[in-house]
Structure formats: structure tokens, C-alpha cells
Amino acid sequence: MRFLCASNLRLGRRISGVPGHLNLDPARLSTSAVWNQIVDVAVSQEIDAVLLAGNVIDRENRAFEPIGPLERGLTTLERSGIPVIAVAGQLDFDTLPAFAHRAGDALDVLDDDDWDRLTIDDVTILGRSAADAAGRRDLPGSLPDDAGADAVAMLPASLTGGDAPETVFQPIPLETLTRSNIRIWVLGGQREPDLVEQNGTVIIEPGASCPLDPLETGPYGAWLLDTEDPGQSQHLALSPVRFESVDVDISGAKTLDEVEHRVVGALHETLERCISDDPRGQLLCVPCVVTLTGTTHHAPELPAFMRDLAATLDIQREGIVAAITEVQIDARPDIGIAPLLGRPDPVGELARLLTWLDGGDVERPDAHAALLQRTLTRLQGVHRARVFATVAGDPEPDAEMARDILRRESWNVLDALIRQRGVE
């Protein structure tokens, strides 16, 4: 039998990070548009059933916006004789079962109090919904022992290699699954798609059906599972948006025009690669986080130059557009540090700080370590500020992030001081 597996649809959520100057229709870039693609694939390929492994409805916008698209898709699938089986996740543990009660036979949501199951032809689908937003830490101990080897088990859980941090929702170790008598698992706890095969057991993590911000790079969509050969399950790129990270080395660029030429060339290469990964033609937009690296005399001019470039540039091919959604400048001024280390002034102090940040020996490492700690404390204070609580989604700053920021700003100040003081 063939199943279409998806998770983390988060219907009602908007994709952020698409450059506004592209003037793309927001409706075509929504999570609902991906749900429509899942329905179309299921109908056109005559799928036996659609399996939804959690977080179908977004918790922040669950009352109105997701209902219409979800109902229309379920109606289409029901008319085509394609059942939809789901487990509720941490975001819709209460919403999805309530919706399924109104939807009738168009949607089956498996219970949360114990393992629930139903049969499609000769294949048993079993699973267990999330009971709340916290998840079960003892989930592995409750696995069923009476399911046949041809069953497909579905959980809104996260595959781990062992001990999982408290932030991981419903962790379940790989070893636990491979010891069970069930050979096919669909886990919907993670947002990154993956397929793991070990000791005859296949675990599919459908991941997010579409990315929600520039941190989620690569293709997203759904998985086509054939129970006869689950190890050959196919990932289908269905999202209209694909975020990418693009590194551009601008070392040796003599002019800003040459910098622009290298950035445009890198975007063309990225767009070509993304198009080759989109055989179904679902892709509309490839927003890119561009990181400039290398050394250049134009370092002080790069922020303003790249800001203007990002606001206007787009690369188009076959109706798909690539653009810059964010710029990170890790390019350094073309300055030799070694001759500056002995100077008893701010130029020398910055040179010694940069040497320490790059792992070199300096006379006062404790002072630099204290500066790094103060930087980290300030960054974490901003991240935890109440004013940002409703929009916080990025990871909390750590020591490595503080080090990168301190290094980048130190180079900027050093370059400005050298220019001001006429230092050779």
C-alpha cells in the first residue's frame, strides 16, 4: 500500500522571511497552499491514505483561518475515497480532536489515552495522540506489543539517540524502535525531514511541510511511503518557498561591482540547484541568507551596499525567483594583525582581542574572557526581554554566537580607528 505522510503543517501560520519587494501573493506562500498540494498529490497518484503525524493546526491562529482550507481538502479526499488518519501534536492536542468530531468520517484522529488503531485493507495503522503540550517522557515504555510486523505506527514524537534534553517533545530512542516488532514508524515531532533505516526498521520523520523562517533551509514537503519497500520512500518537495544559505567569498574583489557580480553568480547557482530539486514544479521563491566572507578593502562600505542590493535584487528563471532576505557580513578588512599587537593604544588592544578570539596567545586573556562573558550576558538579557516574548523563536545566544558578534564588531572598530589615525 502507498501512504502520503506529512506533519507540522501548522495551518494558519504565515511564512516569514520572503522579501517584500517581490510582491508575491501571500495566499500562494501560505501553509494552506502546501496542504492543497498534499491533497492534489494524494488524488492524482491514487494514494491509499494520508497520514498526518501531528501539529496539523497552528496553536496561535487556530480559531478561523485553518478551518476552511482543511475542510475543503478533507472533502476532496473523501470524495476520492482516500482516508485521512492523524495524531494530534503538542500544538493541536485539543483543537484537532475537536475538529475531527465535527468533520465526521473525513478525518480520523487516534486517541491519546492509549494506543488506538484502525485497518486499511490488510495494513494496521496505530498511534497515540499527544495528551497535552508537554508530551510524555515515558513514551517508550508504552509501546504496543501486539501489533503485526506489517503495521504502521504513528506518533507526534522526536527520534533521539538516547537521553534527550527537556526541550525535546516526546523523545523516543532509535534503539527502542528497532527492538519493537513494528517495522515502519512515522514520527512527527521534528521539523527537519529525515528517513532512518536500521536493523530492518524504517523510521520516517516527515518534518515540516513548509519552512516558516530563513533558519529552515532546504526542501520541505511530504513523504511517499510504499509499505512493500519502505526503505525506498520518497521525499516530495511541495513547499512554494525554499530558504537557502549562500556563502560568497569576496577576497580580492577590487570594486563593489565585482562584489555584486559574485553575489549574483552565487544566487544563480543556488536557484539552478533548487530548480533541479523541484520536479513537480511547486517552487515559487528562494529567499537566501547571503554571508560575505574573505578580506577586502571595501569592508566599511559593505553594509550600506548590501542593504541596497538586497532591497532591489531578484534573479528569475522558469517563473521562480531568488532574492536576498538577509545579509551577514563576515568579511574582514584587509588588515594585518601581527604588526599591531605591540601598540599601547586602542588599535593594539583590539588587535590583541581579535588574536584571543581566534585562539591566539595574549598577555591578558582573563580580561578578554570577561569581555566575552559580558557580551553574552547582554545578548541573553535582550533575548529574554519581555517585550520580545511574543515573537521570540530564534535560539538563545550562546558563547559561540557572542564570540562571532564580538569578533565582527571588533574588526569594524579596528578598521575605523586605522582609517581615522592613519595607521599604516
User: Out of 166-170, 208-212, 332-336, which region has the weakest mean confidence (pLDDT)?
Assistant: 166-170
- As a whole number of angstroms, the distance between CA 59 and CA 417 comes to 50
CA dihedral 140, 146, 151, 152 (to 10 degrees): -20
- pLDDT of res. 137: 66
Architecture of the domain defined by 2-237: 4-Layer Sandwich (3.60)
Indicate the pLDDT class of residue 383, thresholds 50, 70 and 90.
confident
- pLDDT of res. 379: 92
Rounded to 5°, the CA angle 215-238-34 comes to: 85
Is 222's pLDDT higher than 70? yes
**94 compared with 140, residue with greater pLDDT:** 94
Contacts of 327 (CB under 8 A, 6+ apart): 289, 290, 291, 292, 303, 306, 307, 310
List the beta strands (DSSP E) in 297-380. Answer: 314-317, 320-329, 332-333
- pLDDT of res. 62: 53
Is 204's pLDDT higher than 60? yes
**113 compared with 210, residue with greater pLDDT:** 210
Please state, rounded to an integer, the average pLDDT across all residues of the chain: 89
Please compute, for residue 377, the number of CA atoms within 13 A of its CA located in the half-sphere on the CB side: 6
Which helix (H) or strand (E) segment holds residue 247: the answer is strand 244-249
- pLDDT by residue (tens digit) across 96-134? 998 888 888 899 999 888 888 898 888 899 999 988 888
The string over 305-317, giving b where at least 16 C-beta atoms fall within 10 Å of a residue's C-beta and e elsewhere, is: bbeebbeebebee
Number of Cβ within a 10 Å radius of residue 402: 20
- As a whole number of angstroms, the distance between CA 209 and CA 393 comes to 18
Parts of the chain belonging to CATH 3.60.21.10: 2-237
- As a whole number of angstroms, the distance between CA 187 and CA 225 comes to 13
Contacts of 4 (CB under 8 A, 6+ apart): 38, 41, 42, 45, 47, 49, 50, 51, 222, 223, 224, 225
